[in-house]
Each structure stands twice: as structure tokens, then as C-alpha cells.
Amino acid sequence: MVNTRSGRAVRQWLLAGLLLCVILFGCGKSIPSGTVKGKVTLDDEPYSNAAVVLLGVDSGQAGSADIQSDGTFSISEPLPVGKYTVYLAPKAGGSDSEEPVPVTTDSAIPDKYWSEMSDIRVDVAEGPNDIAVPLKTGK
């Protein structure tokens, strides 16, 4: 005859141990990430007529932010640690009208900076990151 009382106690202890492991070790490893802010310049002067995009070279993760009038930006969500391509995108047009607003790029900026083919690469490390995005017109 099987003692059901001892079997129940063993199951309760196993369940309690499993619960303790989940509490102590979490549900899995968190991915290291970093916050990103910085400044965009065009020929060493602050540039603001766009948004800045960081696209993960290996992960495909991305973050973006509008560039402020002084050239600074801050991406609101942390990005996974890794190498990123930096490029520009038109700022999101805000209009109260129901008519679509055409999206345009600034012709003063070389085309290579308006796509993921940009030659600007940065490393995002764990913790805070302050990056410079130096654009050159080639003059």
C-alpha cells in the first residue's frame, strides 16, 4: 500500500523548490542593453532637420528619435548591446489636416546618410551611451 500523505508532501516540496528557483533566478537571462543619446552635426554645425535611426547590424533591432533644434537626440527605449548603422529619416510630419503630408529629405545631406547604406557605425555598450553623428557634405 502506497502512503499518499508522503507522496503529497514530496510533490509540495518539489513545487516549493521550483517556485524558489524561479524567484531567485528569474525566467531567463535579460539581454544587456544601453540607453542612447547624442548629437548630430553637419560639417561641424548642429543639424536638426530629420530624425536619427540606429539599426542593429546583427540583431535588426532599431531605435529612432527626432533631432532637436540644437542637434541633440535621445532614443526613449534602451537598445540591445551591439554594432549599429546610423542614418537619417524624415521627421514624422504632424498635421491637423486630414490631407497627407509629403515626406521629403533635405537635399543638403548626401544620399548615403538617408538609408541603411550609411557609413556611420556606432557601438552601443551596456549602460548610458553618448554618441556623435558627424555628417559631412564633402565640401
What is the domain-level CATH number for residue 119?
2.60.40.10
Question: What domain count does the chain have?
Answer: 1
Q: Whole-angstrom Cα distance, residue 41 to residue 43? A: 6
Segment among 19-23, 54-58, 96-100 with least mean pLDDT:
19-23
Residue 23 lies in a domain: no
Rounded Cα–Cα distance for residues 6 and 64 (Å): 58
Q: pTM of the full predicted structure?
A: 0.74
Region label for 107, one of left (φ > 0), alpha (ψ between -120 and 50) or beta (otherwise): alpha
**Cα–Cα distance between 29 and 129 in angstroms, integer?**
22
Mean pLDDT of 17-28: 50
